[in-house]
Amino acid sequence: MAEPLLVVEAVVKAYGERVTTRALDGVDLRVEAGELMALVGRSGSGKSTLLNLIGLLDRPTEGRILLNGTDTQPLADRGLTALRARTLGFIFQFHHLLPAFTALENVMLPAWGHQGYPDRAMRTDAEALLTAVGLKAHLHHRTTELSGGEQQRVAIARALVRHPPLVLADEPTGNLDTESADAVFELMRRFNRERGTTFIVVTHDPRIAERCDRVVTLVDGRVQTDVAQAPAKPTAPGAITPSV
């Protein structure tokens, strides 16, 4: 049996010195390759803290995190950076696209930054991803010329450009209208099904959560419930075009 893609064991994250606050208090979590999981909970429940730890942007106070078979606890900063680059993609609520760059250049940036210079293969991959998310006609548009939903599609393509096995999405539909939110979720679902990409989606939107394979609820820094759900049916053909 293959080992889980992500293992979180007895993770505690505490802040403060004299008086400590536990943002996470003994979290255990296992995520298998190919899952699309929702992480939900009220503000202050620890969702963002947990996502930061899984994303190797912070370290736990206690416990350990294994990512793609690697124990992250003994890694120095350089090792964490290398593991993050080859294993993780990130999608944020506030896109974090560079306004002076085109959609194509924004998608190329993770690979460009890793390699140090752009090349034809990098460009071809970025073009293919933007085509897959329905933005073939907008390759050379600056991101300020795109709608919010289109910008989030660029962000999804950017997260996937280095083919990470795990993508962390922090409120990816939080600033979108219902139609755009549905389209963005269906893009993540399609890449999940067609490429086997694993997604952990932090969301306050119950409509998004109920369409995931699994819903993990945090309360006061602890996992309160962990519920598997029946796979959601795809939307009608033509909702997202074109296919990869």
The side-by-side arrangement of strands in the sheet containing 70-71 is 21-31, 6-15, 62-67, 70-71
pLDDT at site 231: 61
What's the half-sphere exposure (Cβ side, CA atoms, 13 Å) at 130? 24
Say how far apart CA 177 and CA 42 lie, in whole Å.
Answer: 21
pLDDT at site 162: 87
pLDDT at site 104: 93
Query: 70: which strand partners?
Result: 67
Does domain 33-59+77-228 fall into CATH 2.70.70.10? no
Mean pLDDT by 10 residues, the chain (244 residues): 89 85 94 95 92 94 95 94 92 82 90 75 89 90 89 89 92 83 88 93 92 94 90 45 34
**Is there a contact between 212 and 201 (Cβ–Cβ < 8 Å)?**
yes
pLDDT at site 29: 96
Domain ranges of the chain: 33-59+77-228
